[in-house]
């Protein structure tokens, strides 16, 4: 079980279309045991892919990827739905990383880019909402 989560749940970090107020949040919010924990970040880089962002984790990076930490049911059905939405294995891969939230460091699942798509630009500040405003 994921440290800091309750029995049968795990943490998920989202930084784009699945965040509260974004286009696909209803998918995440409607999942079993889904609960927004709060804001968070991880060291890395965010790139603009058009309608949504992608990110790379880099523990030595001086830049951050800003987003939200959620708690979801730790079940194959939940991750099947998320993997399908994120097209896991094509553009994105699901990985467990360390996320900083409210002064704590937690293990969380997230979807990271497999490779840098050509011609895509870095999102300054690593904040998708701010970038899209």
How many angstroms separate the CA atoms of 104 and 67, rounded?
15
pLDDT at 119: 77
pLDDT at 45: 94
pLDDT at 133: 84
Nearest to 127 by CA among 60, 71, 53, 61: 53
pLDDT at 5: 53
- What residue ranges define each of the domains in the chain, with the CATH number in brackets? 9-116 (3.10.490.10)
pLDDT at 116: 78
**Segment-wise mean pLDDT, segments of 10 residues, the chain, 133 residues:** 64 96 94 94 95 93 95 95 94 96 94 86 93 88
pLDDT at 1: 44
């Amino acid at each position: 079980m994921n440290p800091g989560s309750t029995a049968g749940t795990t943490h998920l970090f989202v930084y784009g279309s699945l965040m509260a107020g974004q286009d696909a949040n209803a998918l995440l919010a409607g999942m079993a045991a889904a609960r927004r924990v709060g804001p968070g970040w991880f060291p890395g880089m965010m790139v603009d892919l058009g309608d949504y962002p992608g990110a790379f984790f880099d523990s030595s990076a001086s830049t951050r990827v800003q987003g939200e930490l959620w708690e979801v049911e730790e079940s194959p059905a939940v991750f099947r739905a998320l993997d399908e939405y994120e097209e896991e294995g094509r553009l994105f891969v699901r990985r467990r990383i360390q996320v900083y939230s409210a002064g704590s460091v937690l293990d969380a699942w997230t979807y990271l880019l497999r490779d840098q798509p050509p011609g895509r630009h870095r999102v300054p500040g690593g904040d998708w909402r701010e970038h899209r405003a």
